[in-house]
């Protein structure tokens, strides 16, 4: 396992460069299997675990199942101090009688000060911990003034409830604006942003704000100075929910276009040549990029986790990376 430092310029700590996504733990992935995955992750040196306060609500869960399972497991293992726990708020149900949706009307709670003040401490309670290492706004909320959202996260940091604040599913300009607002208020800025990202990426489209963009990578690379505190990028669906490994699996989320199919075929060719799996190559591509990101890997078995762990120390040679990065049709 490899490690890197997360920091917002005031608070810093190390995390494993692979983050374990716990979205389905306690629902689609049963408790015994979830615990076995968590145990194996820690055994392999993993320290960074990611969840949220609304996970698997759409699969018959309560939204808190993952947080609760993590809390029980940490209490029984007595390993809280060895871990860095991230959770998210803002995308739980605003109206319990209505479903959640990725398109309007979403029925998300949003990122008002009231929601942040209420749901941050509640997540800590559900997790059975006194301090949340990373707390994200789950989805950007353009209906609430940034000053209100940023100020509320700052309150939780001053109270010692959270270490580093973050934001997810957000356009880059909003990240920059929020960090500038934090400077104006004298509070710590967002130190982490979580977006979707994989070796396959969508065609540009106005309003598609949930993907890592070259602009976000460039901005993150520019941080780490007194004037511009550090910003790390964590990424979900790095294996495109099985779309990387299986050539026959349909692609989704704007990624289903000829370039993606060509890149996926190339990824499989490279994997065969270097004796790795396509998933391992895809993760190594993210980990070893010029602007490295932290993949949030969701697995449903120990075997899937072991495959992902094989990417932690896989270094792609410069010629292999150049081949993977080449535009279609380039030699």
Of the residues 3, 55, 190, 236, only one is catalytic, namely 55
Q: How far apart are the first and last CA of the chain?
A: 34
Structure tokens at 167: 């934001």
**Residue 118 to residue 279: CA distance in whole angstroms:** 39
Q: What are phi and psi of 79, to 5 degrees?
A: -115, 15
Q: Are strands 12-16 and 3-7 parallel, antiparallel or unpaired?
A: antiparallel
Determine the length of the chain: 331
Would you call 55 a catalytic residue per the annotation? yes
User: What is the CB neighbour count within 10 angstroms for residue 102?
Assistant: 11
**Residue 141 to residue 147: CA distance in whole angstroms:** 12
Q: What is the 3-state secondary structure (H, E, C) of the chain?
A: CCEEEEECCCCEEEEECCEEECCCECCCECHHHHHHHHHHHHHCCCCEEECCCCECHHHCCCECHHHHHHHHHHHHHCCHHHCEEEEEECCCECCCCCCCCCCCCCCECCCCHHHHHHHHHHHHHHHCCCCEEEEEECCCCCCCCHHHHHHHHHHHHHCCCEEEEEEECCCHHHHHHHHHHHHHHCCCCCCEEEEECCCCCCCCCCCCCCECCHHHHHHHHCCCCCCCCCCEEEEECCCHHHCCCCCCCCCCCCCCCHHHHHHHHHHHHHHHHHCCCHHHHHHHHHHCCCCCCEEEEECCCHHHHHHHHCCCCCCCCHHHHHHHHCCCCCC
Question: Given the structure tokens 């279609």, which residue do they identify?
Answer: 328
Tell me which residues are annotated as active site. Answer: 55
């Amino acid at each position: 396992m490899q490690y890197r430092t997360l920091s917002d310029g005031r608070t810093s700590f190390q995390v494993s460069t692979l983050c374990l996504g716990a979205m389905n733990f306690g629902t689609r992935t049963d408790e015994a299997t979830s615990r076995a995955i968590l145990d194996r992750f820690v055994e392999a040196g993993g320290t960074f675990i990611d969840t949220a306060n609304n996970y698997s609500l759409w699969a018959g869960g309560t939204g808190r199942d993952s947080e609760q399972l993590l809390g029980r497991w940490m209490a029984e293992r007595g390993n809280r101090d060895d871990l860095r726990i991230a959770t998210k708020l803002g995308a739980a149900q605003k109206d319990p009688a209505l479903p959640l949706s990725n398109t309007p009307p979403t029925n998300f709670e949003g990122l008002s000060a009231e929601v942040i003040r209420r749901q941050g401490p509640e997540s800590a309670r559900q997790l059975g911990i006194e301090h949340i290492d990373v707390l994200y706004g789950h989805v950007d909320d353009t209906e609430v003034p940034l000053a209100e959202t940023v100020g509320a996260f700052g309150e939780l940091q001053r109270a010692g409830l959270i270490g580093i604040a973050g934001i997810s599913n957000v356009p880059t300009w909003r990240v920059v604006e929020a960090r500038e607002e934090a400077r104006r208020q004298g509070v710590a800025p967002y130190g982490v942003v979580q977006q979707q990202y994989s070796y396959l990426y969508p065609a540009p489209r106005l309003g598609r704000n949930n993907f890592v963009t070259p602009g976000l990578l460039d901005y993150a690379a520019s941080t780490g100075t007194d004037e511009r505190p550090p910003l790390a990028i964590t990424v979900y669906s790095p294996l495109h929910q099985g779309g990387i490994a299986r050539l026959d699996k349909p692609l989704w989320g704007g990624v289903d276009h000829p370039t993606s199919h060509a890149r996926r075929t190339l990824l499989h060719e490279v994997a065969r040549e270097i004796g790795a799996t396509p998933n391992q190559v895809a993760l190594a591509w993210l980990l070893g990029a010029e602007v490295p990101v932290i993949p949030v890997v969701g697995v449903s078995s120990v075997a899937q986790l072991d495959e992902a762990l094989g990417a932690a120390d896989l270094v792609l040679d410069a010629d292999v990376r150049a081949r993977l990065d080449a535009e279609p049709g380039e030699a």
